[in-house]
């Protein structure tokens, strides 16, 4: 099994049939665009050939890139430092455009159809729906801080951190494209991440537990994890990056990479 890992300490790692290689500087977020891998680090985003790790080009971006997504020949990078989303070409890194995106935004997701983007706007309490040209189509307002956003089989899922007494709780909402909000799940835990699944469901990660949901929004699987940082659907399984431990395959919980400072991962 091949694996790309953005390790904040060791660097950008490529695991293939020949072992584990460091091919670039430490990164914070990964994105696949065709046969290219983009890795965002401290104010720079570097592009590599997916199979070989050969450096191809780079782009200058704001610091604090927390999430990236690709649609066609465009890559989108969300900066929590600059409160903005930047679009650039996947083949050259040429900047195409930039637009504001909430207050300390946390997450970015591309629609499987390749025409829409979803942004979790962080402390603004806003979830933004944009087109490929970064035009804002709709703004959804939800309780608390938006930590994650993804597309469901029908509509959108939003993961929020809401105050409950003196602590924070995780609340998962289903939102129709028209803006009808349905409260579907809550945990007395701090929310971290969210991702959509090919079957139309989603999986959310909190400090202490991950929960998988079917397309009908019913919880199907719950597993303990101390601090899940990022979740990614990958060829019949789920990749989980856990702070302090490394990268795991779910639902088997098999660890495929060990490292205390893993930020993101992609299957080769």
Q: Please report the pLDDT score of residue 42 as a whole number.
A: 75
Residue 83: pLDDT band with limits 50, 70, 90? very high
Residue 136 has a pLDDT of 96
pLDDT in tens, 131-154: 999 999 999 999 999 999 999 998
pLDDT of residue 166: 78
Write out the DSSP string of the chain: --EEEEETTTEEEEEETTEEEEEES--SEEEEETTEEEEE-SSEEEEEETTT--EEEEEE--S-EEEEEEETTEEEEEETTTTEEEEEETTT--EEEEEE-SBS--EEEE-TTSSEEEEE-BTT-EEEEEETT--EEEEEE-SSEEEEEEE-SSSEEEEEEEEETTEEEEEEEEE-TT--EEEEEEESS-EEEEEE-TTS-EEEEETTEEEEE-TTS-EEEEE--S-EEEEEEETTEEEEEETTTEEEEETTTEEEEE-TTEEEEEE-
Q: What share of the chain has pLDDT > 90, as a percent?
A: 88
- At 114 the pLDDT is 84
Kindly report the pTM of this predicted structure.
0.94
Mean pLDDT across the chain = 94
Q: Is the pLDDT of residue 200 over 80?
A: yes
Q: What is the largest CA-CA distance in the chain?
A: 52
- Which pLDDT does position 41 carry in this prediction? 86
pLDDT digits (tens, 9 = 90+) for 173-191: 999 999 999 999 999 999 9
- The pLDDT value recorded for residue 19 is 86
Categorize the per-residue pLDDT at 71 as very low, low, confident or very high, splitting at 50, 70 and 90. Answer: very high
How far is the C-alpha of 144 from the C-alpha of 43, rounded, in Å? Answer: 29
Would you say residue 214 has pLDDT above 80? yes
pLDDT in tens, 104-131: 999 999 998 889 999 999 999 999 999 9
Task: Say which CATH topology domain 106-224 has.
Answer: Methylamine Dehydrogenase; Chain H (2.130.10)
pLDDT of residue 110: 95
pLDDT average, residue stretch 23-30: 93
pLDDT at 13: 95
Q: Note the pLDDT of residue 60.
A: 92
Instruction: Give the pLDDT score at 168.
Output: 86
**pLDDT at residue 113 in the model:** 84
């Amino acid at each position: 099994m091949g694996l790309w890992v953005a390790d904040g300490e060791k660097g950008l790692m490529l695991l293939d049939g020949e072992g584990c290689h460091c091919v670039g500087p430490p990164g914070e977020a990964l994105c696949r665009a065709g046969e290219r891998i983009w890795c965002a680090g401290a104010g720079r985003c570097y592009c590599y050939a997916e199979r070989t790790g050969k450096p191809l080009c780079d782009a200058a971006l704001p610091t604090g890139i927390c999430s990236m997504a690709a649609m066609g020949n465009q890559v989108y990078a969300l900066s929590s430092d600059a409160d903005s989303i930047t679009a650039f070409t996947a083949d050259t890194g040429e900047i195409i455009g930039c637009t504001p995106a909430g207050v300390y935004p946390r997450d970015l997701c591309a629609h499987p159809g390749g025409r829409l983007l979803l942004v979790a706007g962080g402390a603004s309490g806003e979830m933004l729906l944009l087109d490929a040209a970064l035009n804002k189509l709709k703004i959804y307002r939800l309780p608390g801080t938006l930590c994650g956003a993804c597309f469901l089989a029908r509509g959108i899922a939003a993961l929020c951190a809401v105050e409950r007494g003196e602590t924070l709780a995780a609340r998962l909402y289903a939102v129709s494209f028209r803006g009808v909000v349905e409260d579907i799940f809550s945990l007395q835990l701090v929310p971290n991440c969210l991702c959509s699944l090919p079957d139309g469901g989603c999986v959310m990660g909190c400090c202490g537990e991950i929960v998988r949901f079917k397309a009908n929004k019913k919880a199907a699987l719950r597993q303990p994890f101390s601090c899940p940082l990022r979740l990614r659907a990958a060829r019949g399984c789920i990749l989980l990056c856990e702070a302090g431990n490394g990268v795991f395959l779910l639902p088997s919980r098999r660890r495929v990479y060990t490292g205390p400072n893993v930020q993101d991962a992609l299957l080769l």
